[in-house]
């Protein structure tokens, strides 16, 4: 069993390693753009214009929207190993093109290409982890994509502080190569194998991830559970038709796997299942709401503002402050990974959102009234980052990996991923208008308001999923609807 936990952890690391590569990719322009804009630049034939510099930072987000859209097709058709390799290769090509390019157009195309891989990993990680993780450690493993993104950001800041342009590119190429090797070294997902009618291979994969013999009771029980989860949610006709009167009751009967006549079930699409299944629909709306509110708690704009603050506080220590910022991202994810399967999901989201609201109010007051020196602002920003990642910034992605049935996991992850990319783009676009109308402090007060909203909404609509099986989680959403 210990070996099974190790194999699950290794697969979670593999499924999340692309997030580290995306962290490296996103931060890179912050210390590279001046090399491209200098009049005497030797990297390009002509210096980049202001519009090109803007695209240098934003194109990965556009690429991410495309990657999020295609990843489900790739991993459903080719599996988590070959499909994972396919979505990793753009990272490698992106940095190879940048290394060989001398024109802005090619560099920008490479940034878009790298964003495709990063967007794909936003879906790939939660999907793969949800398919191999035991219920007892699922919450901890589901934080790995956020954790590795923070590690990538940290590594990128350190590289920008100490390394040269060429060395940084080669390190990114090596990270992409390692990512490819990791993906090819893991065991295929049992759920994918069952969908391909490769039951014998699925049994061996389950045995691998459980650390047990293929003939053990543990493996056979898990096989039975996965088959039940893959049983499509359809128009169900129970033996005793008078006992069920609602769609919720029908689905609950299906989840209990009792008194259902299999011959009357008809396979339906994942999209239709997501819409027609009460528990899946409820789960999707819950996650949609809290992840929307979470984005408007302001981490992305605060990151942009932080760079200016760090330079104002002490230009000689701006790089150090950036590294500390990345460390707060990682530390917050570590805390969540350590306690999410003990404290639970709801309490972390509620407490984290409350602390974020408090820190944003203080940051707004500091920005408006300057009651302390510049380093006070730095400390508040670092605390805000830590509070955010201790629940509000990570738990929605934990829920993404555990609240959907395998039948709808891919389509739900795709829709949520696309929505997150759009929201990040939208909040960056409107942030300058908010600050021009209300001031920087006004924007921070708005973020504090969304922190309060997130705490209240999470208390009302988010069920506790700690340690629950997938079937039990569907029951939890059905029960909340009935209240």
Per the structure, the count of domains in the chain is 3
What is the C-alpha to C-alpha distance for residues 256 and 250, in angstroms, rounded to an integer?
10
Is residue 256 assigned to a domain? Answer: no
**Domain range for 216:** 190-231
Look at residue 244 in the predicted model and tell me its pLDDT: 39
Question: How far is residue 270's CA from residue 273's CA, in Å, rounded to a whole number?
Answer: 5
Q: Are residues 148 and 211 in the same domain?
A: no
CB atoms within 10 A of CB 183: 24
Cα 473 to Cα 111, 258, 415, 468, 469: the distances in Å are 39, 18, 20, 6, 6
Cβ atoms of 278 and 478 within 8 Å: the answer is yes
Q: Do 119 and 171 lie in a common domain? A: yes
CA-based nearest residue to 176, from 18, 367, 63, 8: 18
- Inside any domain, residue 78: yes
pLDDT of residue 304: 66
3-state secondary structure 344-409: CHHHHHHHHHHHHHHHHHHHHHHHHHCCCCHHHHHHHHHHHHHHHHCCCCCHHHHHHCCCCCHHHH
User: Tell me, what's the pLDDT at 399?
Assistant: 92
> 422: which 2 tokens?
């759009």
> What is the chain's pLDDT, residue by residue, as a tens digit (483 residues)?
567 899 999 999 999 999 999 999 988 988 888 899 999 889 999 999 988 888 888 888 889 989 998 998 999 999 999 999 999 999 999 999 999 999 999 999 999 999 999 999 989 999 999 999 998 898 899 999 999 999 999 999 899 888 999 999 999 999 999 999 999 999 999 999 999 999 999 999 999 999 999 999 999 999 988 888 776 444 333 334 444 344 445 455 544 544 433 333 444 578 888 888 888 999 999 999 999 999 999 988 887 667 677 877 778 888 888 899 989 999 999 899 888 888 889 999 999 999 999 999 999 999 899 888 888 989 999 999 999 999 999 999 999 989 998 888 888 988 998 899 888 878 877 887 888 899 989 999 999 999 999 999 999 999 998 888 888 888 888 876 544
Residue 480, pLDDT score:
64
**250 assigned to some structural domain:** no
214 and 99 in one domain? no
The distance in angstroms from the start CA to the end CA of the chain is 39
- Are 163 and 34 in contact by the 8 Å Cβ rule? The answer is no
Query: Burial letters for 277-310: b for 16+ Cβ neighbours within 10 Å, e otherwise?
Result: bbbbbbbbebbebbbbbbbbbbbbbbbebbeebb
If asked whether residues 78 and 162 sit together in one domain, one would say yes
- Is 217 found in the same domain as 136? no
Helical residues (DSSP H) of 133-163, grouped into ranges: 138-142, 144-162
Question: Full-prediction pTM beyond 0.85?
Answer: no
Residue at token pair 């819409």:
275
Q: What is the CATH number of the domain that holds 44?
A: 1.20.1250.20
Looking at 161, 186, 211, the residue that finishes a domain is 186
d(CA 11, CA 124): 12
Whether the Cβ atoms of residue 250 and residue 236 lie closer than 8 Å to each other: yes
String of b and e for 13-24 (b: at least 16 CB within 10 Å)? bbbbbbbbbbbb
386 and 425 housed in the same domain? yes
pLDDT at 310: 81
Dig out the tokens for 184 from the structure. Answer: 């090819």
Contact in structure between 141 and 129 (CB atoms under 8 Å): yes
Residues 182 and 213 in one domain: no
Q: Which two tokens stand for residue 471?
A: 């079937």
Q: How many CA atoms lie within 13 A of 369 on its CB side?
A: 8
pLDDT the model gives residue 238: 38
Task: For residue 186, give Cα distances in angstroms to 216, 270, 414, 431.
Answer: 22, 26, 23, 42
Q: Which pLDDT score, from 0 to 100, does residue 263 have?
A: 37
CA-to-CA distance for 411 and 238, rounded, in angstroms? 28
Does residue 7 sit in the same domain as residue 77? yes
- Helix ranges (H only) for 257-344 are 270-276, 278-295, 299-313, 318-343
| Cβ-contact 174, 185 below 8 angstroms | no
Separation CA 100–CA 352 (nearest Å): 44
Q: Which residue has the tokens 């390394």?
A: 163
Cβ-contact 120, 60 below 8 angstroms: no
Strand partners, 238: 260
Residue pair 462/346 in contact by the 8 Å Cβ criterion: yes
Domain check: are 206 and 143 in the same one? no
> Which residues does 473 contact at the CB level (< 8 Å), separation at least 6?
283, 402, 403, 463, 465
In a domain, 245, yes or no: no
338-354 b/e (C-beta count within 10 Å ≥ 16 → b):
ebbbebbbbbbbbbbbb
176 with 208, same domain?
Answer: no
203 and 133 share a domain?
no
Q: Is residue 241, in this structure, part of any structural domain at all?
A: no
Q: Is residue 248 part of a domain?
A: no
Do residues 33 and 155 both lie within one domain?
A: yes
In a domain, 135, yes or no: yes
In a domain, 252, yes or no: no
Tell which residue, 287, 294, 298, has the closest CA to residue 431.
298
Contact of 254 with 235, CB cutoff 8 Å? no
Q: Kindly calculate the radius of gyration of the chain based on its CA atoms and give it in whole angstroms.
A: 23
Report pLDDT for 481. Answer: 54
């Amino acid at each position: 069993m210990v070996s099974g936990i190790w194999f699950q952890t290794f697969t979670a690391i593999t499924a999340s390693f692309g997030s580290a590569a995306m962290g490296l990719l996103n931060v890179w322009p912050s210390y590279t753009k001046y090399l491209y804009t200098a009049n005497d630049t030797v990297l390009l034939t002509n210096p980049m214009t202001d519009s090109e510099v803007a695209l240098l930072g934003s194109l990965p987000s556009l690429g991410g929207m495309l990657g999020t859209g295609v990843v489900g097709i790739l991993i459903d058709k080719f599996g988590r190993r070959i499909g994972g390799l396919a979505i990793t290769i753009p990272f490698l090509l992106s940095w190879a093109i940048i290394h060989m390019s001398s024109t802005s157009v090619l560099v920008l195309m490479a940034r878009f290409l790298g964003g495709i891989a990063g967007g794909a990993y936003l879906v790939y990680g939660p999907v793969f982890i949800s398919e191999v993780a035991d219920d007892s450690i699922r919450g901890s493993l589901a934080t790995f994509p956020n954790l590795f993104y923070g590690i990538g950001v940290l590594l990128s800041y350190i590289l920008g502080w100490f390394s040269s342009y060429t060395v940084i590119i080669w390190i990114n190429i090596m990270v992409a190569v390692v990512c490819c090797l990791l993906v090819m070294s893991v065991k295929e997902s049992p759920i994918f194998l069952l969908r391909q009618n490769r039951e014998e291979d699925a049994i061996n994969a389950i045995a691998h991830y459980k650390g047990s013999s293929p003939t053990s009771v543990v493996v056979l029980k898990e096989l039975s559970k996965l088959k039940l989860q893959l049983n499509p949610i359809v128009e169900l006709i129970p033996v005793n038709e008078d006992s069920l009167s609602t769609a919720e009751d029908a689905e609950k009967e299906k989840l209990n796997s009792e008194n259902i006549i299999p011959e009357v079930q008809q396979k339906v699409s994942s999209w239709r299942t997501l819409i027609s299944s009460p528990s899946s629909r409820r789960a999707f709306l819950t996650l949609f709401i809290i992840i929307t509110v979470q984005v408007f708690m302001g981490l992305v704009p605060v990151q942009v503002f932080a760079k200016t603050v760090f330079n104002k506080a002490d230009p000689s220590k701006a790089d150090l402050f950036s590294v500390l910022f990345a460390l707060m991202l990682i530390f917050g994810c570590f805390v969540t990974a350590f306690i999410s399967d003990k404290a639970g999901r709801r309490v972390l989201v509620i407490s984290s959102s409350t602390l974020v609201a408090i820190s944003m109010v203080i940051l707004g007051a500091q920005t408006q009234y300057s009651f302390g020196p510049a380093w006070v602002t730095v400390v508040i920003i670092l605390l805000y980052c830590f509070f955010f990642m201790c629940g509000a910034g990570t738990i929605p992605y934990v829920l993404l990996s555990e609240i959907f049935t395998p039948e709808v996991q891919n389509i739900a992850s795709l829709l949520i991923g696309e929505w997150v990319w759009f929201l990040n783009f939208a909040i960056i676009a409107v942030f300058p208008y908010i600050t021009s109308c209300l001031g920087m402090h006004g924007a921070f007060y708005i973020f504090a308001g969304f922190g309060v909203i997130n705490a209240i909404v999470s208390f009302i609509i988010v069920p506790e999923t700690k340690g629950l099986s997938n079937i039990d989680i569907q029951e939890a959403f059905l029960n909340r609807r009935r209240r």
